Amino acid sequence: MDKPAAERLAAPAAKRARGRPRKTAEQRDDGNRRGELLRCAARLFRRQGFDATSTRDIAAAAGMRSGSPFYHFKTKAALLYAVMEEGMHGAIARQQQAVARAGPGLAPAALLQALVRNHFEVLLGAGSDFVPVMLYEYRSISTRQRSRLAQLQGAYEAPWIPVLAALQQEGRLRADVKLARLLIFGALNWSAQWYDRRQAAGLDELTAAALDLFLARPAGEAP
pLDDT (0 to 100) of residue 112: 97
Q: What is the pLDDT of residues 125-177, one digit of tens each?
A: 988 899 999 999 999 999 999 999 999 999 999 999 999 999 999 999 999 99
Domain range for 124 is: 77-214
Q: Whole-model pTM? A: 0.81
Segment 66-89 mean pLDDT: 92
The answer to whether position 155 is within a domain reads: yes
Cα gap 159→165, rounded to integer Å: 11
Q: Please tell me the total count of domains within the chain.
A: 1
Does 196 map to a domain? Answer: yes
The pLDDT value recorded for residue 60 is: 93
Helix, strand, coil share of the chain (percent; to 5) = 70, 0, 30
Res 69: pLDDT: 81
Which residue would you say has higher pLDDT here, 220 or 208?
208
Predicted pLDDT at 39? 95
CATH number at residue 165: 1.10.357.10
> Is 33 inside any structural domain?
no
- Asked if residue 195 is part of any domain, the answer here is yes
Distance (Å) of CA 102 to CA 108, 182, 188: 11, 24, 20
Residue 15 lies in a domain: no
